[in-house]
């Protein structure tokens, strides 16, 4: 099976869209590392809220995502898709600490200067509190579902525990309830690439001269963990880049080297280094050891080839949900695309999501 070409088009697939963005002020927020006196959340919506105001679905993005879910998750969100915007009112916000419109390190503080290094450490719990306030701002009393992959899955978990009963169904895909030492290690290696870039300047770099080298390397490290060995082998093998023989130089010789350099460099044009640090630190801090108190249903999905968020972590979450007395379904999907499978699998993943949303819809109206 040849890997999906879109697997190697990350930047093209996730290019932010400013056109449909809306903004909500959600007030002051006490964060893990200090107070944010005023928080703005950027968000987008698709579909229509019904008269009963009970068809809202919140989509939560991963670290490098943004509010444009119909872009980075176009195989799952849209008309006729698993999360059908013809039937559901779909909301996706740029997370707190992000760099695509929501309050984050690249934003302006009350004194008129960039937050930069002064931006406080945040937690997944803080991200979800800001989202809860957004949903209240939109006048939605309860969510039909919250869904997310990777970091988005952690946010979905937190929704069910921070405000029990506020969400009927949580869909967690390629995620976990707390990072392992290896997952923290990958994030730390990527963070150090940024922190050790001379242009980082302790986090107080000008936006027109950011630490692009460090952030580019951080993204390369990420890509190596997001994909599977089989995907890399089938796409690149040991093929050379635009040549038949080695140059015996430090310039990229292999196709895979050229690919990683391209993805890393292009990522720096759409993402902020401080946001990368803040968000990866937040998910490393996150840890839930019980789902006690939850009143939600869960659908938990994992991928056999995902060695970054392996299936045993999903099995742990399933046990936590059952121990809490919650209804839960769990499935492992056999696709050879690695962690990024959750972004591209509109077929098998989509079938499970569509089914559980339909059964939830049926239960809701009986």
Active-site positions read 150, 306, 339
The 8-class DSSP code of residue 191 comes to: H
Q: Using DSSP, state whether 360 is helix, strand or coil.
A: helix
The token pair that represents 69 in the structure block: 């879910």
Tokens 């290696």 locate to: 189
CB 37 within 8 A of CB 124: no
The most distant pair of C-alpha atoms in the chain lies apart, rounded to whole Å, by 70
Alpha-carbon gap, residue 134 to 125, rounded angstroms: 14
Q: Using DSSP, state whether 276 is helix, strand or coil.
A: helix
CB 104 within 8 A of CB 119: yes
The token pair that represents 290 in the structure block: 């019980």
Q: Can you name the residues that pair with 287 across neighbouring β-strands?
A: 178
- Radius of gyration of the chain from Cα atoms? 20
């Amino acid at each position: 099976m040849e890997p999906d070409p879109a697997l190697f088009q990350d930047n093209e697939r996730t290019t932010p869209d400013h056109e449909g963005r809306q903004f909500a002020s959600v007030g002051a927020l006490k964060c893990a590392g200090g107070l944010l006196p005023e928080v703005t959340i950027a968000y987008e919506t698709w579909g229509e809220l019904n008269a009963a105001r009970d068809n809202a679905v919140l989509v939560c993005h991963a670290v490098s995502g943004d509010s444009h879910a119909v872009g980075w998750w176009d195989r799952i969100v849209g008309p006729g898709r698993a999360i059908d915007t013809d039937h559901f009112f779909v909301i996706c916000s740029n997370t707190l600490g992000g760099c695509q419109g929501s309050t984050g390190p690249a934003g302006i503080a009350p004194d008129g200067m960039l937050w930069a290094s002064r931006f406080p450490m945040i937690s997944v719990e803080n991200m979800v509190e800001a989202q809860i306030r957004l949903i209240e701002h939109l006048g939605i009393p309860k969510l039909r579902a919250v869904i997310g992959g990777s970091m988005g899955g952690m946010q979905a978990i937190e929704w069910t525990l921070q405000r029990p009963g506020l969400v009927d169904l949580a869909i967690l895909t390629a995620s976990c309830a707390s990072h392992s030492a290896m997952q923290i290690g990958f994030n730390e290696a990527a963070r150090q690439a940024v922190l050790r870039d001379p242009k980082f300047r302790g986090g107080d770099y000008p936006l027109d001269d950011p630490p692009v080298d460090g952030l580019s390397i951080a993204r390369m490290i990420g890509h190596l963990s997001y994909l599977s060995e089989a995907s890399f082998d089938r796409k690149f093998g040991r093929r050379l880049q635009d040549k038949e023989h080695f140059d015996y130089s430090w310039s990229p010789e292999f196709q895979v080297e050229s690919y990683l350099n391209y993805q890393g460099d292009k990522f720096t044009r759409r993402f902020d280094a401080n946001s990368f640090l803040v968000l990866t630190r937040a998910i490393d801090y996150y840890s839930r050891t019980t789902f006690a108190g939850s009143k939600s249903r869960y659908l938990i999905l994992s991928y056999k080839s995902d060695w970054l968020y392996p299936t045993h972590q999903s099995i742990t979450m399933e046990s936590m949900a059952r121990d809490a007395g919650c209804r839960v379904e769990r499935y492992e999907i056999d696709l050879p695309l690695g962690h990024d499978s959750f972004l591209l699998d509109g077929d098998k993943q989509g079938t499970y999501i569509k089914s559980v949303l339909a059964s939830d819809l049926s239960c809701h109206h009986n």
